[in-house]
Amino acid sequence: MKHLKHALFVILAIFLTITCHAGRPVAGIIAEAHPSLAPMLQKVMETVVNISVRGEIPAANLQAQGKQRIQNNSRFNPRFEDLGSGVIIDAEHGYIVTNAHVIKDAQAITVTLSNGRSIRAKVIGYDAPSDIAVIQIKANRLKNANFGDSDKLKVGDFVCAIGNPFGLQQTVTSGVISGLERSELGVEGFENFIQTDASINPGSSGGALVNMSGELIGINTAIIAPVPVNIGIGLAIPSNMVKSITEQLIKYGRVRRGVMGVMVQNITPALAEAMNLQHPGEGALISEVIEGSPAATAGLKSKDVIIKIMDKPVHSSTQIRNVASLLSIGSKVDLQVRRGNKLITLQPIIADPDNLKKVAQEAPTTLLSGLGLKSFNLLIDNKQIKGVEVLYVADGSVAHSCGLIPGDIILTATNQPVTTINELQTIANKNNKQLLLEVKRGLSGNIFLVLEE
């Protein structure tokens, strides 16, 4: 017991030292003998809700998502009940942000407030590629969270995660920001995650990640672990992305993504050497500029290296896609490009995907409608990759709602290899109700998606 008291004293002393030298005020922490986050959390926890859903999942979806092995019987749609979390972002109108995967396929959604009151909710809209959804409740005396600026976050910042893990309502965990701009993990279509060691577990999805001022700086969405429990690697969607997506979902019921018309890729050391690039660790390489696209009109060329987008240094091709996806149609994209030894500033305008229909073959079938496609055949890491590349995905299409994104390479359809658009369309015509696709997405490996009406 004596040793235990000594250990507790040392831990408390270290915590007080960190608190006193944090370099900036920590809202709500009382600098007394027992420092606490309670004053800050008491205000924030009122904005976090618990979500329970009931519904049915098509059998093929379970197979594709790897949730469990079931027999492929079209008459068998397993019922499910699930738990998640959400954050009130508009108290006046009752808007709540959560993860798309929490409410997808749900037939009934119940929101439980911090005071224990339960209310039925309706879906305003969801965006599968970003895994963000907005639901709405009708209730009085709600309090909403205040958005923080996720662009200002730094590794080492203290954070708290609030949610409903395993049904344990209003659970708070704490930690630090372990990393920023995590991408190419194969978790979602648009990845720009905040990494934290604040414990996130099943049921925490859609919950709040807040800073020490009580500001919402992320929505907890996933963990990386060999088993579905936390091992200290949690992922949250940055608040700036959340704010942009939720504004569109509330206004349009969907996300209206535009296009620049470029294909970009990461610059590997081997690629930099082969192309004699003078700054190998910088930017992302343009592998193709689509004819007639905004990028072509602005003067971008194949083999250009984008080193800045919207005045932010570029570290990966995923970063370019993420930033561009948050810009509204008609917006200018500020790019700094290295062409040989020259630095060039260009401003392509984000355009509607329909502008690419003149140069990309439009798939005519119902399940593939709204997709711009072209055949793909390229040597990647000494391996020949053949398939059908997705150039654009129209908003509101089946492909959009099921999670296909520009840059995906469709490798197989219903377990049959596809190397041309005609092959893909032929298979789709024979499977016009449901289509299982194997897709290569960036460096994250292959994933399975189900297209169905």
- Which one is catalytic: 85, 101, 204, 400? 101
Does the active-site annotation cover 90? no
Contact yes or no for 146/33 (Cβ under 8 A): no
Distance between CA atoms of 302 and 307, rounded to whole angstroms? Answer: 14
- Which one is catalytic: 114, 205, 244, 317? 205
Q: Is 9 helix (H, G, I), strand (E, B) or coil?
A: helix
Distance between CA atoms of 226 and 224, rounded to whole angstroms? Answer: 7
Does the active-site annotation cover 101? yes
For 406, residues 6+ apart whose C-beta sits below 8 A from its C-beta are: 259, 321, 390, 391, 392, 393
Distance between CA atoms of 60 and 431, rounded to whole angstroms? Answer: 13
Record the tokens describing residue 297, joined without a space.
């009109």
DSSP string, 35-92: --SHHHHHHHGGGEEEEEEEEE--HHHHHHHTS------TT---EEEEEEEEEEEETT
For 319, residues 6+ apart whose C-beta sits below 8 A from its C-beta are: 181, 183, 192, 284, 309, 312
- Which one is catalytic: 52, 82, 114, 131? 131
Distance between CA atoms of 209 and 205, rounded to whole angstroms? Answer: 11
Does the active-site annotation cover 131? yes
The residues carrying an active-site annotation are 101, 131, 205
